[in-house]
Every structure is written in C-alpha cells, then in structure tokens.
Amino acid sequence: MHTNYNSNPLDAKTYDTDRLRAEFLTEELFKNDEITLVYSHIDRVVAMGVSPVERTLKLNDFVDTKAFGVEFFLQRRELGVVNLGGAATVKTAAQEYTLNHLDALYLGLGEQDVEFTSLNAAEPAALYCLSAPAHHTYPSRTILREQARHVELGSSENANARTITQYLHPDVLPTCQLCLGVTHLKPGSVWNTMPAHTHERRMEAYLYFNVAPQQVVFHFMGEPQETRHIVVRDKQLVLSPSWSIHSGCGTQNYSFVWGMLGENQTFDDMDFVDMNTIR
C-alpha cells in the first residue's frame, strides 16, 4: 500500500513535474492478479485497483488491517466498486454479486471476507474501488449501468458534450459520504469540468480510462490562480485536494471515474471559477 500525504497549496505551487506526479498521480494502479492500494491523508480516502485474472483475489490478503487500526477493512469503512473490464463476481461473507462491464457495487460498513473473481481470464475484470470512512451501515447493492442516473451536459460547440453516469449518488442510493460515477466524453469532445470549480468540503479522485494508445489527457489542477497540469494515460489515478481545481482536456475523447468524499454530498456545493480570473 502506498501512502499519500496531504499537501499545502502554498507548497504545491512550487513543485516541478516529477514532484507533482509523485504527490498526486498513481501511474500503475492495475497489476495482473494483484490488488494495489493507495491510502491518502486527503479525507482518508483509499483507492484500489483490483485485477483478478487467473485467481480469486481476497481483500484480506492485501490489506494490513493494523495500518487501519481495525480487525477487517470495512469495519469502519464503506466501499464503491465500478467494473472497467470483463465480467466479475464480488463475494462477501453475506452475498455474491455479479458485475458486468460498467456495472457498480456499493458495500456498506461491516461487510467482511471480500473476494474478487473474473468470470473469464481471457477478458479479465478491472475493478476500480474507492473507500471512505463510514459511521452507519447502509445496505449493500449492485447498481447496474442502466439503473444509474444519466445526465447529459455540455455541447459540441464547447468540445465538452458528455454523459455523466451517477452510481453512488443520493438520488440513486444512500451512502455515508461516498459518491461515485463515470463521465464519458462524446466523440469530438475533449474538455471536462470547465469552467472549473473547487469544493472546500470535499476531495475528489479521477481515474481516467478509455484513453487510447498514443493519446493523453492533460489534467489541470492547483489553485485557480496557480494552475498546474499532469499528463495522464489510461487507467491512471489523480487525487485532488479540496483547494484544487480538477479538470481535463484530452487529445481525443475519453472517460473517467470520479469519486468524492468529505463533509457533505451536496453536488451544487461548489465554488465556481470565473474564466476571467483563472490563471
């Protein structure tokens, strides 16, 4: 497990490219037959790349529970899962769930003995997970792609026509604080979340995918008047603290999983940045 520490914006604006990438980017989250964990002090978020190919991956085998001060990983946490690959099963001590491509799963506080298996090794699953501290047990359940909330935003004129698919969202199911969804840019569109915003009461994580070979996404971050960028490739993760904008522009259309946690789940609780002031 890699531990990521929070950063002061006064310090972050002095970082060079290597330091920016080291502090905010995870380049290799998915490794065959492994579970890769990133623990961040930014709101105590945990991101995981789960890549079962030839064998079942048991979460207990990859988590040092002493590092979390608990007896099992979800003793004090909730977990969201979205499947970016082939069909998979996620099994707990209580139930087994099947996730096809772009289906999602919510596991509530207290779930134990979590296992991940690909149904076909020739088309393995790629399960992206995001976990937040939790204070209450809400029911675990799958959210199939067609059951999610779909929102159309943007326009082709502004190169940001996109579909936002909300899986873990107050209008879909209750969670303690974790929100998660997927945004798909339409062909010919490359911008997401611009005009930019920050939200002081929530952090956000972006997992970019559907980034074609030889294509990249420029992820813009930093304070609105001290912007920086990170070049991102397929299935790479960027952690965004509350003081930072989080916006991307690709050399071709792409998709990304967004996840949020913090003090509230109010989606319009944002501090929008005037395009005349961003620098």
Residue 264 has pLDDT above 80, yes or no: no
Q: 115 φ, ψ to 5°?
A: -130, 145
Residue 94 has pLDDT above 80, yes or no: yes
For residue 150, name the pLDDT band (cuts at 50, 70, 90).
Answer: very high
Tokens of 90: 């996620």
Q: Which residue, among 217, 221, 219, 216, has the nearest Cα to 203 in the 3D structure?
A: 221
Type of residue at 183: T
* Arithmetic mean of pLDDT, 20-26: 96
Q: State the Cα–Cα distance between residues 164 and 141, nearest whole angstrom.
A: 20
Q: Which residue, among 53, 32, 29, 56, has the nearest Cα to 115 in the 3D structure?
A: 56
Tens digit of each residue's pLDDT (9 = 90 or more) over 222-232? 999 999 999 99
Angle 274-276-279 (CA atoms, 0-180°, nearest 5)? 95
Task: Name residue, tokens 């995981």.
Answer: 48
Q: What is the per-residue pLDDT for 270? A: 82
Q: Which residues are annotated as a binding site?
A: 197, 199, 204, 246
Q: Which residues are annotated as a binding site for Zn(2+)?
A: 197, 199, 204, 246
Q: What is the mean pLDDT of the chain?
A: 95
Q: What is the per-residue pLDDT for 268? A: 77
Q: What is the per-residue pLDDT for 262? A: 86
Domains (range + CATH), the chain: 2-272 (2.60.120.10)
Quick one: how far is CA 197 from the chain centroid?
18
